[in-house]
A and B are shown apart, each in its own frame.
Chain A
Amino acid sequence: MDMSMQKTLPQSSKPVLDASAPPKIKARKVNVYYGEKRAIQDLDVDIPRNAVTAFIGPSGCGKSTFLRCINRMNDTISICRVTGDITIDDGNIYDRSLDVVQLRARVGMVFQKPNPFPKSIYENVAYGPRIHGLSRSKAELDEIVETSLEKAGLLKEVKDRLQESGTGLSGGQQQRLCIARAIAVGPEVILMDEPCSALDPIATAKVEELIDELRKNFTIVIVTHSMQQAARVSQKTAFFHLGTLVEFGDTPQIFTNPSDKRTQDYITGRFG
């Protein structure tokens, strides 16, 4: 339909992905090896900024491996070798001079099983900013903790018990605490590896709502086994299979009319 007709239609209030903005993360000819075995093959992908990108694919396809490349968590695996270029805002994150600790503050991560520190709720969130020297006074630190808990949608539930242990919270609350902890250090990117797998449907819905809010200010990459979750929360979806990026596109199109038969077979349950 012509653009004048488009303008008269009711529009969603949600922010639209800005296709003209430069990508936040760029991967070029990335290969990842575990010893002799190649886990990711010649990967080229552009991850858009201020949007949610979902990685989907069967077990062992390389999606979590690639996720861990973005904050160099694979460095901790001795037999893991990464070649190619990965840049964030055009800065090579595998550059020898790069401070990897700083990288992991810029690129936060949330894991499948909520893993709060065995500390108080307050300390869980304050720990990162404190050791990174992000606050000059207790008052500033309090502010950071409060804002992070607020952004993670947890403040109202815990504001009267910040000194209680983080591990005493419910699963969904713990996961949101982990998200608050990640955003407290002021990251630009948040990586999420199946963040809702261990959560009940209500907690899942709260985290999904949170992801939707967070994308205004962060670039989010989420690995998920749930087709419906990927379809709900993301604007772009990447389908991985046997270490290859098979298809990358707009989420609505991937889930209604994918270009590659392998993608279609996977999302419709024809695999295996």
Chain B
Amino acid sequence: MPDQHTVRSYEEELRLLDKKIAQMGGIAELQLGQAIDALEARDPALADQVISKDAQVDALQRDIEEQVITMIARRQPMADDLRHILGAIRIASDLERVGDLAKNIAKRTLAISSENLPKTLLYGLKHMAELAQRQLKDVLDAYADRNSDAARLVWTRDEQIDATYNSVFRELLTYMMEDPRNIGLCTHLLFGAKNLERIGDHTTNIAETVHYLVKGTTLAENRPKGDKTSSTLLP
């Protein structure tokens, strides 16, 4: 039963594309995990590792783009192949941003490494990070398995990250109001939290791409959005 392309090299190129996405995803997952660990442990050396890994992610994105462009020219892909390789270029772009955002979190770790980090604030961020890590892992698995139901699940769960971000946001505002000496630290943490929320959004983007790749239809217009911070006044 022919599920393989008659031209084997075409088949191999498509598998290679998947491998590259998997590799990129793996590094991004690692970056995210290590960035939060570095924050918690106040470990500048670990933060540096996260930052330096980003070059690999960027290089993979460029490589994937090049491969996709060449494949479009040479193979003139149709149907599922077309959606697959266009999906790969979009996912690579989202993963590259995830890597940048993780790197940014690590940079902030370096900035606040000498400060005292209150446990409650850290707890909120850790919770966000765990949700984001789970989203990222699940969506990459959905891609590898071509599972649109799993992708849809990731898509709907973004609200959890948004909800956690809302509460972290309020907490940080409270902290800053209590004592202006906290402002420096809290601002960095606020950006860190925003980065995690953005990582969540990128995994949702990837989920939408996976769904389209598998089904050929887009998920419904109204993506679940729970981020209310743009209208949050001082608590």
Contact = CB atoms under 8 A, between A and B. Distances in A.
Interface string B204-223: 00000000000111000100
A263 B80 CA distance: 11
Interface stretch (B3-11, B31-39, B146-154, B175-183): B3-11
How many interface residues does chain B have, given as a range?
A: 10 to 19
A1 interface: yes
A255 B4 CA distance: 18
Give the one of B5, B76, B79, B216 with max A CB within 10 A: B79
B41 to A, nearest CB: 48
Contact of A268 (B77, B215, B216, B221): B77
B2 A268 contact: no
A268 B76 contact: no
A227 B77 CA distance: 10
A272 B2 contact: yes
Nearest to A254: B79
Given A269-B10, A272-B6, A257 B217 contact: yes
A262 to B, nearest CB: 10
B6 A271 contact: yes
Contacts of B221: 1
B82 interface: yes
A268 B80 CA distance: 8
Contacts of A270: 2-6
A257 B5 CA distance: 17
Interface in A153-175: none
Interface residues of A, number: 17
A267 B2 contact: no
B5 A255 contact: no
Interface in B77-129: 77-83
B3 A268 contact: no
A128 interface: no
Given A1-B221, A268-B5, A257 B78 contact: no
Give the one of A227, A263, A267, A271 with max B CB within 10 A: A267
A264 B79 contact: yes
Interface of B: 2-7, 10, 76-83, 215-217, 221
